Structure 1
Amino acid sequence: MIRIKLDVMMAQRKMSLNKLSEIVGITPANLSILKNEKGKAVRFSTLDALCRALECQPGDLLEYVEEEEK
């Protein structure tokens, strides 16, 4: 499973959801979906904009975690 660590990077950069939304050009609602790991996909253009705004690499925002067996 791929986890999105947007909340961690935002905290490290001391950036609010609204400020990031303004910089990236994505609605706060859509960023919130990513931040809360409710999204099913991320466009490369969105990932590019997030990395640019947060001054990070894609690997800083994405993490692979093995799913637990049920």
Structure 2
Amino acid sequence: MLKMKLHIRLAEKRLTQKELAQITGIRLATISGYCNDNFKMISKEHLEILCKFFKCKISDLLEYEED
């Protein structure tokens, strides 16, 4: 199972989901889904935007855990 670590990045930057949505242009509902691990797919474009914004690698945003 893929797990998104976006909530950790938000906490490190002391940003809210709403602020991140406004800055990146990603819908708030989408960011909320990523933070709550309630997503079926992740847009490549969103990964690029988030990696660029947080200056990180994809592995800093996503991790794989076996069920």
TM-score when normalising by structure 1:
0.87
- 1:19 aligned residue: 19
- 1:49 aligned residue: 49
Deviation at 1:34, TM superposition (A): 1.0
Deviation at 1:4, TM superposition (A): 0.5
Q: Percent identity?
A: 33
Q: Determine whether 1:30 maps to 2:3.
A: no
Q: Determine whether 1:2 maps to 2:2.
A: yes
Deviation at 1:20, TM superposition (A): 0.7
Q: Distance in 1 between matches of 2:60 and 2:48?
A: 12
For structure 1, the residue ranges without an aligned partner over 5 or more in a row are: none
- 2:63 aligned residue: 63
For structure 2, the residue ranges without an aligned partner over 5 or more in a row are: none
Deviation readout 1:29-63 (Å, 9 max, x if unpaired) = 11101110000110111000011112211100000
Q: Distance in 2 between matches of 1:52 and 1:15?
A: 16
Aligned CA-pair RMSD: 0.9
Higher gyration radius (CA)? 1
